[in-house]
A and B are shown apart, each in its own frame.
Chain A
């Protein structure tokens, strides 16, 4: 069970996200939903590879699946920034989104492509996570300053971004400290240490799964309400 959580819950969570978007996309065919679905489909493939590679990779500095995670965080900030850009109403929020995206792209290119970071890059990833948390707060600020007649619980964006907040805020410390903890092991972890790492990554995966579930439940809720109306 713990192996499932620490190794395979991640692609499952991304798959839940992809399926949720496919479900919601039947009612909302907007471009941003299609792009987000594409991202989750890509993330599911990437994380499936990362999960299966654990079985045959020795997880050394030369041979590991860390590149997949570094690429995933780049894709995450890129696609979610696009989604947020499309969601924001104010030009100021859009400019902040683009600025944060630019910072993250520069950060990724400098650290992961030019300096060829082979370990999981906590610095780049945590900056990406912080940027996304800031964008989520911007969205909540937008929601509260534009209160309309509609129920916020019937808004897909609210469920999606609430899920993101739980995941990104909850897993921020795991992502931030991962490089530091890996460096302590000096490349030769004991079985007990590996187990602790598994627990930590399992916690991360659990948070991701909770956030996917929140979005899924929200989508079901919205669709049920729409069906009642029609």
Chain B
């Protein structure tokens, strides 16, 4: 009998077993990889759903904020102007033509102002106004409203070449801006609010600074955000949705700065 045959047979059997194990390994690898891919797809889908829900929430919050502004504007401004116009009309004296002329002119100016204010208000009643007018204009409008209706001194500075971000991204950023603004109004006791937009080649830096009493941000952020501080948590969550870095810096009593850095993608367009 040929003595080399058993060795060859054993070798072939060993190779076969090895290849069988390789085959099992390949199948397990395919299964694991497919499972991970599936998990990744599900997570992406979940993120999309969360993003859409946040967008909807942002829209509703902006709408709510807008209605508050409108109510305040009607009460504090248009109401006052129209009351003044009414007072003018009521006190018109037909026997004094000079006074009558003056009061008619004053009333006409007051009604004209009321009409202009109403026109401005009607613009902001559209919930998609951020998408329509763009982030910068919306911020400018919001700061203008605040300046007009309160003792705050506001300023807006834009550096670099402004670009339009995707509409949903702008909506989220505007909502972060509104939330930060609300925090200043509620807690900061500030007199000056400064917004700054810095358009860099790869990112947009949005900063909102106040000169208020500030707070111990270091100690605050070292702890997990308390449940009642939904404002900051919302801002953080929303910044994450648009892949932005969110930073809050504050030192008592030198005011607070909220910074959001958003990476600019190919979807952005020059204004």
A residues whose Cβ falls under 8 Å from a Cβ of B: 140, 143-144, 147, 149, 152-153, 162, 165-166, 169-174, 177, 181, 184-185, 190, 192-193, 196, 199-200, 203, 207
Contact = CB atoms under 8 A, between A and B. Distances in A.
A144 B37 contact: yes
B79 interface: no
The 3 A-B pairs at the shortest CB distance, nearest first, are namely A170-B20, A147-B37, A169-B23
Nearest to B37: A147
Given A143-B30, A147-B34, A199-B9, A193 B22 contact: no
Contacts of B26: 140, 165
A200 B12 contact: yes
A152 B34 contact: yes
Which secondary structure dominates where chain B touches chain A?
A: helix
Interface in B8-30: 8-9, 12-13, 15-17, 19-20, 22-24, 26-27, 30
Contacts, number: 70
A184 B8 CA distance: 11
A193 B31 contact: no
Contacts of B98: none
Contact of A171 (B6, B8, B16, B41): B16
24 contacts: A140-B30, A143-B30, A144-B34, A147-B34, A147-B38, A147-B41, A149-B38, A152-B30, A165-B26, A165-B27, A166-B24, A170-B17, A170-B20, A173-B15, A174-B12, A174-B16, A177-B8, A177-B12, A192-B1, A193-B2, A196-B6, A196-B9, A200-B9, A203-B16
B222 interface: no
B161 interface: no
Given A144-B37, A165-B27, A181-B8, A207 B20 contact: yes
